[in-house]
Chain A
Amino acid sequence: MKRDIEVEVNGNRYRRTVEPRMLLTDFIRHELRLTGTHVGCEHGVCGACTIHFDGEPVRACVMLAVQADGHSLRTVESLAEEGQLNRLQRAFNECHGLQCGFCTPGFLMTLQPVVDAGEQLSDDEIRDAISGNLCRCTGYQQIVDAVNSALAPSQPDGHASTS
């Protein structure tokens, strides 16, 4: 039986009627037309579908749309600030943290809380933080570089640190 749900996504309220079997990824992409959230494996392995559910990174492909009823979500579309890439996104751009870009939304949503926490991390800790996200292009080193860059204290003429 279909169910009515009300979900807040990136600050906007949406009401929809969905089948219980609809995955949260399909809801976000097909019902809300927010196609920034990508789908790689659809069984919880690749991390491309990472979003924030009540503030915490989760994999949207192993959640149901009905489970989002009454909850608040954020997707990669919410990261840009006033139409400009945010600090983490710029760091990915500048450090070549992406090539094809398929995995990028998932990495960004996984890493945004890490960057927001503002703690300096070792390369090993960064690799641990991204262990749940697969990238077939970069070999990960540039992603680690991007996180380091996003975490580096602002410098007047620095790369990702300029505003």
Chain B
Amino acid sequence: MKPPAFEYEAPSTVEDAARLLADGGDDAKLLAGGQSLIPLLNLRFAAPSLLIDLNGVLELAHINEAAGELRIGALVRHSAVAGHALVAERHPLLAEALGYVAHPQIRNRGTIGGTTAHSDPAAEVPVVLLMSDARVIAHSTRGQREIAVDDLFVSIFTTSLEPDEIITEVIIPDRHVEPGTITGSSFQEFARRHGDYAIGGGAAIVELDAEGICRNARVGLLGAGMRPEESKAAAAVLENSTLAEDTVREAARVATAEINPLGNVHGDVQYRREVIREMTFRAVMTAANKAKAGTA
């Protein structure tokens, strides 16, 4: 249960970190909060030759408001994202989802860049980023590029980042809201104990107009397969409806009809599919009720 030997560097700028990563080759790894990577080292599931610790790269620890978007530095801790006033105001679903991420001690270390790069289909934040049309900035000695998270998340623990790229920022655009509508959102998951990785979950953002008609919907699924998932088909069922219970049940059924959750000792495939369906139903109903309460 001890990490294998590795070299360690603690750069203080993104430039230095990028150079170390480029020179370090395939066996070099970035260390952010360490809340996923260090357990993997302790269990000897990973054996990097070099760890490049980003914790001293203070330029990655900001949350900035830019034109129509929020830019969150990769090193911002889960607890800081969840507690930030702009996040609460513009992306309440992200703050709500972070409440389900692990435990307080882990949220004090884990970072938004880390959970995004880790690409775990059971992680809450990637699902919300997908539903929010977020992008990341990937930086290397070769320059930098923007990647939509939909293109970033390839499979379980696999992203489209090149080995020499560092995520420096996560960018979440402000939601485009039609005038006269009210938005509600909700994240629902089932875990044996609060903070543990969930058996499954669902998330929803719905936009209701003054007549109570759903103008826009986003439906996200937690733990539904090899990557964070969004169901456009479920959103299509919800849009232009009044979000009556039957419609929402149908949307949850459509969302989960073809998913293949990874079964394990905590729940087999069929059980997880049912949990995700029920959580998705509850998420849409709760989001709708929040929006309606706002309309009233």
Q: Which residues of A contact B (CB under 8 A)?
A: 1, 3, 19-21, 23, 26, 42-44, 47, 50, 53, 56-59, 61-64, 66-67, 69, 110, 127-129, 131-133
Say whether B104 faces chain A, with CB atoms less than 8 Å apart.
Answer: yes
Q: How far is the CA of A21 from the CA of B8 in the complex (A)?
A: 9
Q: Nearest Cβ distance between residue A105 and chain B, in whole angstroms?
A: 13
State A65–B56 Cα separation when bound (angstroms).
15
- Residue of A at shortest CB range from B34? A62
Cβ–Cβ < 8 Å partners of A50 in chain B? 105
CB-defined contacts of B145 to chain A, threshold 8 Å? none
A144 to chain B, nearest CB (A): 14
Chain A contacts for B8, CB-based, 8 A = 3, 20, 64, 66
Q: Which of B26-63 contact A (CB under 8 A)?
A: 34-35, 38-39, 41-43, 51, 53, 55
Residue of B nearest to A132 (CB): B103
Residues of chain A contacted by B51 (CB below 8 angstroms):
20, 64
For window 79-130 of B, CB contacts with A under 8 Å fall at 79, 102-106, 108-109
CB distance from A63 to the nearest CB of B (A): 6
A43 in complex: contacting residue of B5, B39, B103, B104, CB < 8 Å: B39
Interchain residue pairs with CB less than 8 A apart (12):
A20-B5, A20-B7, A42-B2, A47-B103, A56-B108, A57-B105, A58-B108, A59-B109, A61-B38, A67-B55, A110-B104, A131-B193
A-B contacts at CB below 8 angstroms, number: 87
Q: How many residues of B contact A (CB 8 A)?
A: 30
In the complex, chain B residues 130-170 whose Cβ is within 8 Å of any chain A Cβ:
none
What 3 A-B pairs come out closest when comparing CB atoms?
A: A132-B103, A20-B8, A43-B39
Judge if B10 is at the interface, Cβ distance under 8 Å.
yes
* Contact B106 A44, beta carbon cutoff 8 Å: yes
In the complex, chain B residues whose CB is within 8 Å of the CB of A63: 34, 38, 109
Q: Are A59 and B106 in contact (CB under 8 A)?
A: yes
Q: Shortest Cβ distance from A65 into chain B, in angstroms?
A: 10
